[in-house]
Amino acid sequence: MLVAIDCIIFGFDGQHLKLLLIKRGFEPQKGRWSLMGGFITNDETLDYAAARILKQLTGLTYIYLEQLYAFGDPYRDPTERTVSVAYFALIDINKYEEQISHEYSAEWFPLKRLPSVIFDHKDMIEMAKEKLRYKAAFHPVLFELLPEKFTLPQLQTLYEDVYDAMIDKRNFSRKMLSTGLIVKQKDKEKNGSKKGAFYYKLDKRKYRAKFDAFLNLIPNPQSLK
């Protein structure tokens, strides 16, 4: 039996939440879109193997990476019995764009327009989306997807993409500001409108202190419409 790692890599470019896929380089299903993946060696822990595979395929290091679930259907891989341990990662696309290796035809796709993927990778992606929604409701984990400076409209767009729901602007701003996690800056981002929107920065000390606190940021997205 083989043990593999598959990485579901979420990224945000300031406008859309996206997923990073590669073209599979070998049979079966060579040339089809696939999650980043590879096999664990005999002397590796799961977390070490996930970090190694991610670096090997994308060049990415020191990013948010969390174990998701083990997929072990006996027939998930048609060639050999393979158990896959899935991880999901969160990155700011603009920060890491130059690091991503294009040797494997890596490409970003908006979550709402994903191509067909191999094996049970669609199930992995759906489970990762649900896990991300759950974590984002109680922890400020989505800040891992943002640049150092961001606007409230960008932050709201990210939450709306994650939950696939429209969120009331005033309620969202009030709730985010009440957490004390973000600090208003003096400068503005003016590409979106003449008036512009103030930049904010994450208070990293409070972020680390409150990460495991029950924040209840988005208890029910439907209630914020």
Question: What's the pLDDT tens digit per position in 145-203?
Answer: 999 999 999 999 999 999 998 988 998 898 888 888 899 999 998 776 667 899 999 99
Give the range of the structural domain holding residue 184, as residue numbers without chain letter. Answer: 148-224
Question: Residues 133, 163: one domain?
Answer: no
pLDDT score of 221 more than 80? no
Question: Residues 94, 30: one domain?
Answer: yes
Question: Residues 7, 59: one domain?
Answer: yes
Cα dihedral across residues 145, 162, 107, 24: positive or negative: positive
The answer as to whether 143 is a domain residue is no
Quote the DSSP letter at residue 34.
Answer: E
Question: Residues 75, 175: one domain?
Answer: no
Domain count of the fold of the chain = 2
In angstroms, the CA 3 to CA 38 distance is 9
Secondary element (H or E) of residue 162: helix 152-163
What CATH number is attached to the domain comprising 38?
A: 3.90.79.10
Question: Residues 131, 160: one domain?
Answer: no
| pTM for this entry | 0.89
The answer as to whether 142 is a domain residue is no
- Banded model confidence at residue 114, pLDDT cuts 50, 70, 90: very high
Question: Residues 180, 107: one domain?
Answer: no
Cα-Cα end-to-end distance for the chain = 48
Question: Residues 119, 30: one domain?
Answer: yes
Tally of CB atoms within 10 A around 13: 16
pLDDT, mean over the chain: 88
The answer as to whether 102 is a domain residue is yes
- The two structure tokens encoding residue 66: 């969390």
Question: Residues 35, 80: one domain?
Answer: yes
Where does a domain end: 76, 106, 137? 137
What CATH number is attached to the domain comprising 195?
A: 1.10.10.10
